[in-house]
Structure 1
Amino acid sequence: MLNNGQQIGHYKIHSAIGAGGMGEVFLAEDSRLNRRVALKVLPENIATDKDRLRRFEQEARAASALNHPNILTIYEFAAENEMYFLAAEFVEGETLRERLKGSPANLKSALEIAIQVASALDAAHRAGIVHRDIKPENVMIRPDGLVKILDFGIAKLTEKRNETDSEAATAIMVQTSPGMIIGTAAYMSPEQARGKQIDARTDIFSFGVMLYEMLAGKPPFDGENAMDVIGSILNKEPVPVRRQMPEVPQEIERIINKALRKDREERYQTAKDFLSDLKEISQELTFKAKLEDSGQTITRSEATVLTESGRKAIETAELSEENPAAISEGIPSLSSKTQRKRHSRKKAIDSLAVLPFVNAGNDPNAEYLSDGISESVINSLSQLPQLRVMAWNTVQRYKNADFDPLKIGTELDIRAVVAGRVFQLGDRLVVKTELIDAVDGSQLWGEQYSRNPSDIFQVQEEISREISEKLRLKLSGDQRKKLVKRYTDNAEAYQLYLKGRYQWNKRNREGLKSCIAFFQQAIE
């Protein structure tokens, strides 16, 4: 047990905040960067255990490879005087277990949490990582509503496909706390409980259990002890969630049931598909609630206007002022503003503005990066003939201005806005980006990148490529090449070029002098 005030490397211990099978967790102060961190320390008595040490190192590798707003950020894994520790971001808030406290969450809150968890799992699974321990204790909710998945302590790299999950199957026999035994067992997938080979679909089952519990107030599988719980998971079907909570929409019950299939071939095959269904029902319920707030009634089938099938149905029914026959048949008339939004959604996004990225660290020496990345993404996307992209000179006036995507959309007559924030954290370049619908302000896509500054090419290419994919632009081979075309592979020369562009855009005598100097260095 570490004492308050004790120093480990450049971390000063403040207080203990928790403990688990992989070690104790402390709140500490990073004296180098003046920030609070969560320090997970492997106890001395098991630090010499090669298997546990390997798992601890695996957690560091697995989690540090993931860059996603809903996944806990790992700063470093190190050792001090034979004491091994993991430094991660400190997240203030409460766990999902604390939020639930044995009672169900409201539907809106449950969906918001579920969508963020599904997004994190999608990112992890695409990186080849399975969490294997999804449960309310490993989901943290910040006061602002942002969700973080914690503890990749038993995360498994799926490339090792010849391994089975015997570790999970024997877990219930090595734990000593009955509460912890049942708490872990209740979220195991059938294949995990049997010790069989696992993949990403194990997380989907565990996530389905957690979503059921959020809505019903209790997990779908229970028992007096761990073996009873596992027997229930393997042999019994859960009570339908709508029987526990009748106000849960039937579509959500269908989603949960699909996630809880005992045969993983019948479950969602990817977290992305799970996420897509959650977003679709969330949009549908939001749309229905807005109509009800306006005094109009609507059936569930009509509410699917925001789903793919709903859009097709609306195109047939033509719910607009231009189709009085539809209105006379009892279909509610929408306001002209709502109609504009609906009609806009039917059209593919064919125009956007990449706003100047924000220099979130307020480091004047990094200002060239935030501007440079924005301008480079504009240049890349401008190569696509089916997409109208606002020029840098057009969007530059929004630098440091209040961010209102709907207002910007109207002023520039565009369908979407790309916004971003750039941080220079030591030797890491962190770029957070999002694509926003300029009609209704909804987020269409968001991502976080953490790279070495020398990888700035890769960041810009990924942003441009993912935006084009999100807009479902059909690109030819030549167009794909143009999208990621590099005019140099020299990162240092490119950064000098960006500094030169930044000075050039100042449009003054001093800026011009500096611009020439940077350009000269870039070509030397």
Structure 2
Amino acid sequence: MAGSNNLPTEPERFIFESGNFRYEVRGPLLAHEDYDTLFLSWCRSLKENVPRKLVVLNHVEVPEGREGRTRAVEEIQLAAHLHNPGLARVFRLAEYQGSPFVVMEHTRGAFLATIIGSALLLDRKLSPAFAAFIASEVTNALDYAHHCQDDKGRELHIIHRAISPTTIRIGRNGRVKLTNFGAVFSELLGRVPTPPRVLRGNFAYAAPELIRSVSEKGRAGLLTSKVIDSRADIFSLGLVLLEMIAGYHPRLPRPFGASEAAAELADILKRASALKQIDAHPIEMGVLKWPKASAIG
């Protein structure tokens, strides 16, 4: 059923209708071999007289046949349980020439990968305070997802499995959103398990237990709650945090060279952890400065 072969050969712009909506695709927002392809599109209702809005179409790479459709539909089912300002909303499922697209919220801004790369081009690094802010916002969103419950109060054990600089979006207003739940795993009743030896998410940021379960155990290593849990997301986020303060991926064979930044980050985290359990955000308490353009430096 769903496959990239069904997409236009030059997918810069194309138009289609699905359900009660018309989509005018402007072009790829993210195209990388390690991720589902993301398209930026205008979306207009065919039944309601409301202004069009920009959305993100996540082209889900799934097997052919009924399992492929189930794989896409279950992401919508998971999204129905996720309502948090730190998570990009998922609206519905759309289809173009048999290929499924998950319609998601678009945040005007940039991917964290773009910000890290821009700083690198300028031979500069992100400030530890900015890195701590990004990591804390993503941590809050993950904590919500990890403890999300279904309608009967049962924890779903939702795990993102694809935390990386290309799934973290920084809005123009400084807000942070975790995107792309195409690789998500949970104990949602009836969901299709990950196929054997298929590693969802980015290998460079994947937790060791996730990689081992696929590379060593084959079918016996299907990702279940006994093999992988929320710690896999924390591991991936830790690598992202290290990359932010170092300026490059920490697994690269080169000196870390960020001892001063690491020390400053440790001091920020120490002050933040000393705060009492109150409703105020660490930024509002003065532990972190509100991120501005000068955060690159």
TM range (shorter): 0.5 to 0.7
State the structure with bigger RCO (CA 8 A, min sep 6), 1 or 2.
2
Contact 2:76 2:92 in 1 (8 A): yes
User: Counterpart of 1:157 in 2: which secondary structure?
Assistant: coil
1:208 matched residue in structure 2? 238
1:87 aligned residue (93, 103, 109): 103
Shift in CA distance, 219/3, structure 1 to aligned 2, threshold 3 Å: closer
2:274 matched residue in structure 1? 307
1:117 matched residue in structure 2? 138
**What is the identity, as a one-letter code, of the residue corresponding to 1:211?**
L
1:99-138 paired onto structure 2 within 5 Å: 99-101=115-117, 102=120, 104-127=125-148, 128-138=157-167
1:495-510 paired onto structure 2 within 5 Å: none
Q: CA deviation at 1:123?
A: 0.7
**What is the identity, as a one-letter code, of the residue corresponding to 1:66?**
L
Contact 2:31 2:37 in 1 (8 A): yes
Contact 1:41 1:86 in 2 (8 A): yes
CA distance in 1, matches of 2:63, 2:95: 10
- Alignment pair present for 1:284 and 2:276: no
1:188 aligned residue (206, 213, 218): 206
Contact 1:164 1:198 in 2 (8 A): no
1:32-431 paired onto structure 2 within 5 Å: 32=48, 33-34=50-51, 35-42=53-60, 48-79=64-95, 82-101=98-117, 102=120, 104-127=125-148, 128-158=157-187, 167=196, 170-171=198-199, 184-195=202-213, 197-222=227-252, 244-250=257-263, 252=265, 281-282=268-269, 284=271, 307=274
User: Counterpart of 2:39 in 1: which secondary structure?
Assistant: strand
Q: CA deviation at 1:6?
A: 1.7
1:29 matched residue in structure 2? 43
Contact 1:100 1:214 in 2 (8 A): yes
2:224 matched residue in structure 1? none
1:45-71 CA distance string (max 9 Å, x none): x67444443332232222332111111
Instruction: Kindly report the root-mean-square deviation, in angstroms, between the aligned alpha carbons of the 2 structures.
Output: 3.6
User: Counterpart of 2:42 in 1: which secondary structure?
Assistant: strand
Structure 2: tracts of 5 or more residues without a match: 1-7, 149-156, 214-220, 222-226, 287-297
- Alignment pair present for 1:7 and 2:16: yes
CA distance in 1, matches of 2:144, 2:207: 20
Contact 1:77 1:85 in 2 (8 A): yes
1:26-83 CA distance string (max 9 Å, x none): 312223442222223458xx67444443332232222332111111011112446744
1:375 matched residue in structure 2? none
CA distance in 1, matches of 2:16, 2:139: 38
User: Counterpart of 2:205 in 1: which secondary structure?
Assistant: coil
Structure 1: tracts of 5 or more residues without a match: 173-182, 224-237, 254-279, 286-305, 309-344, 350-434, 444-524
**What is the identity, as a one-letter code, of the residue corresponding to 1:203?**
D
**What is the identity, as a one-letter code, of the residue corresponding to 1:207?**
L
Shift in CA distance, 75/186, structure 1 to aligned 2, threshold 3 Å: same
Shift in CA distance, 104/61, structure 1 to aligned 2, threshold 3 Å: farther
Q: CA deviation at 1:109?
A: 0.9
Q: CA deviation at 1:142?
A: 0.8
Task: Tell me which protein shows more helix as a share of its residues.
Answer: 1
Shift in CA distance, 47/81, structure 1 to aligned 2, threshold 3 Å: farther
Count of residue correspondences: 240
CA distance in 1, matches of 2:137, 2:186: 22
Q: CA deviation at 1:147?
A: 0.9
Q: CA deviation at 1:140?
A: 0.8
CA distance in 2, matches of 1:40, 1:170: 19
User: Counterpart of 2:79 in 1: which secondary structure?
Assistant: helix
CA distance in 1, matches of 2:138, 2:110: 15
CA distance in 2, matches of 1:19, 1:58: 23
User: Counterpart of 1:244 in 2: which secondary structure?
Assistant: coil
CA distance in 2, matches of 1:211, 1:67: 25
User: Counterpart of 1:136 in 2: which secondary structure?
Assistant: coil
Contact 1:30 1:36 in 2 (8 A): no
Identity %: 24
User: Counterpart of 1:111 in 2: which secondary structure?
Assistant: helix
Larger radius of gyration: 1
1:277 matched residue in structure 2? none
Shift in CA distance, 441/115, structure 1 to aligned 2, threshold 3 Å: closer
Shift in CA distance, 171/156, structure 1 to aligned 2, threshold 3 Å: closer
Q: CA deviation at 1:144?
A: 1.2
**What is the identity, as a one-letter code, of the residue corresponding to 1:153?**
G
CA distance in 2, matches of 1:120, 1:71: 6
